[in-house]
């Protein structure tokens, strides 16, 4: 395990991260150490604190105590748009896209912002980063849907679009909050295989939460198990599967559909 002095080599590290809502300690002292290039699953029963942890890591929430280091620098308290500029991308458990814009415009806007053109008032945006956006849509399998308003796309395609939006920012670290929520089993494997391929190609670090254990054990390089706001176990898929605590509190239960 990492200690407080070696966060230089890690892309993401948290130390003693805590967050409570009223009387509920949602995240209760989480130490997380993610090296570059990792494909890390964070699993745990409902209410284990996964989404809260994600919201703390991405600046959507501010933690009560503890520190977050991103790329070796402390980023505690930075707002989301600043973190995004430093190379953090994320998707949400509930699909979050620009519904009245076309799929192409969704990704184009992300490219425009990434290249810091978003205060440009003078040039027409229609052709800017169009090819890049189309190539990215192709990559996630949405090339044919590019001209459609994103709000009418099928649910799975909206999830893919959100992934493309996040990737347009060329993140170093991608946080995916249940990227396959609401998808059919086959599509789940497809999209996570795609994420793994992209991560492998670009050296991108991915941290994701997921309820489908088949997907988790097929894709993740390492797994962190959260339980009641603390890290219960961490290790390779094989280590986690063999861990007695994990079996008792989580894997022993029937897996969520």
Partner 1 sequence: MRPAGWLGLVVLALAVAPLALPPFFLQLLTEIAIVGLFATAFNLLMGFGGMVSFGHAAYFALGAYAPALLVKRAGVPLLLALPAAPVVAGAGALLFGFFIVRLSHTYFAMLSLAFAQIVFTVIFKWKALTGGDDGLLDVWPPPLLKSPAAYYYFTLAVVGVSVLALRAIVDSPFGYALRSVRENPRRARFIGIDVRRHQLVAFVISGAFSGLAGGLFAFYNGSVFPDFAYFTKSFEPLVVALLGGVQSFFGPLAGAFGFKILEWLVSRQWPVYWPLFLGTIVIVVIVLLPYGFVGLVGGRPWRTRPTTRG
Candidates 39, 53, 84, 232: give the one binding partner 1 (CB under 8 A).
84
Residue 201 CB, shortest distance to partner 1, in Å, is: 21
Candidates 1, 5, 46, 124: give the one binding partner 1 (CB under 8 A).
124
CA distances from 79 to 24, 55, 62, 88 (A): 24, 11, 9, 11
> Cβ neighbours of residue 155 under 8 Å, at least 6 residues apart?
95, 182, 183
Site for partner 1 in 176-205 (CB under 8 A): none
Which residue is it, tokens 């150490």? Answer: 33
Could you give the angle at the alpha carbon of 94 between the alpha carbons of 90 and 96, nearest 5°? Answer: 60
Cα–Cα distance for residue pair 123/128, rounded to 1 Å: 9
- 89 near partner 1, judged by CB under 8 A: yes
Candidates 4, 8, 65, 120: give the one binding partner 1 (CB under 8 A).
120
Residue 180 CB, shortest distance to partner 1, in Å, is: 17
Site for partner 1 in 45-64 (CB under 8 A): 58, 60
Residue 192 CB, shortest distance to partner 1, in Å, is: 21
Nearer to partner 1, 60 or 187 (CB): 60
Binding mask 98-117 for partner 1 (x = CB under 8 A): xxxxx--xx-xxx-xxx--x
Nearer to partner 1, 27 or 84 (CB): 84
- 1 near partner 1, judged by CB under 8 A: no
Stretch that binds partner 1, among 20-28, 95-103, 184-192, 239-247 (CB under 8 A): 95-103
What's the full length of the chain, in residues? 257
Cα–Cα distance for residue pair 183/186, rounded to 1 Å: 8
Cα–Cα distance for residue pair 190/207, rounded to 1 Å: 17
Cα–Cα distance for residue pair 185/105, rounded to 1 Å: 29
Residue 205 CB, shortest distance to partner 1, in Å, is: 17
Binding mask 126-145 for partner 1 (x = CB under 8 A): x-x-----------------
Q: What is the distance, to the nearest Å, from the Cα of residue 33 to the centroid of all Cα atoms in its chain? A: 15
Could you give the angle at the alpha carbon of 6 between the alpha carbons of 177 and 195, nearest 5°? Answer: 25
Nearer to partner 1, 44 or 59 (CB): 59
> Cβ neighbours of residue 159 under 8 Å, at least 6 residues apart?
91, 95, 179, 180, 181, 182, 183, 191
> Cβ neighbours of residue 252 under 8 Å, at least 6 residues apart?
none
DSSP conformation class of 145: G
Site for partner 1 in 10-39 (CB under 8 A): none
- 167 near partner 1, judged by CB under 8 A: no
Binding site for partner 1 (CB under 8 A): 58, 60, 79-81, 84-85, 89-90, 92, 95-102, 105-106, 108-110, 112-114, 117-126, 128, 149, 151-152, 165-166, 168-169
């Amino acid at each position: 395990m990492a200690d407080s002095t070696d966060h230089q080599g890690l892309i993401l590290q948290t130390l003693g991260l805590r967050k409570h809502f009223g009387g509920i300690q949602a995240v209760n002292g989480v130490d997380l150490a993610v090296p570059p290039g990792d494909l890390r699953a964070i699993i745990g029963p409902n209410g284990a604190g996964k989404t809260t942890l994600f919201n703390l890591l991405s600046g959507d929430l501010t933690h009560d105590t503890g520190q977050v280091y991103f790329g070796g620098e402390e980023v505690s308290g930075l707002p989301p748009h600043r973190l995004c500029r430093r190379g953090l991308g994320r998707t949400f458990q509930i699909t979050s896209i620009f519904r009245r814009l076309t799929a192409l415009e969704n990704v184009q806007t992300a490219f425009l912002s990434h290249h810091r053109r978003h205060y440009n008032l003078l040039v027409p945006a229609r052709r800017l980063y169009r090819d890049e956006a189309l190539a990215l849509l192709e990559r996630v399998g949405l090339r044919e849907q590019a001209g459609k308003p994103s709000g009418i796309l099928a649910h799975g395609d909206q999830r893919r679009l959100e992934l493309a939006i996040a990737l347009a920012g060329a993140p170093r670290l991608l946080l995916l909050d249940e990227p396959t929520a609401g998808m059919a089993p086959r599509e789940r494997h497809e999209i996570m295989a795609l994420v793994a391929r992209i991560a492998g190609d670009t050296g991108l670090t991915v941290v994701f939460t997921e309820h489908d254990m088949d997907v988790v054990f097929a894709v993740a390089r390492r797994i962190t198990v959260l339980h009641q706001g603390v890290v219960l176990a961490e290790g390779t898929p094989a280590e986690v599967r063999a861990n007695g605590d994990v079996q008792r509190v989580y894997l022993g239960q029937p897996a969520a559909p």
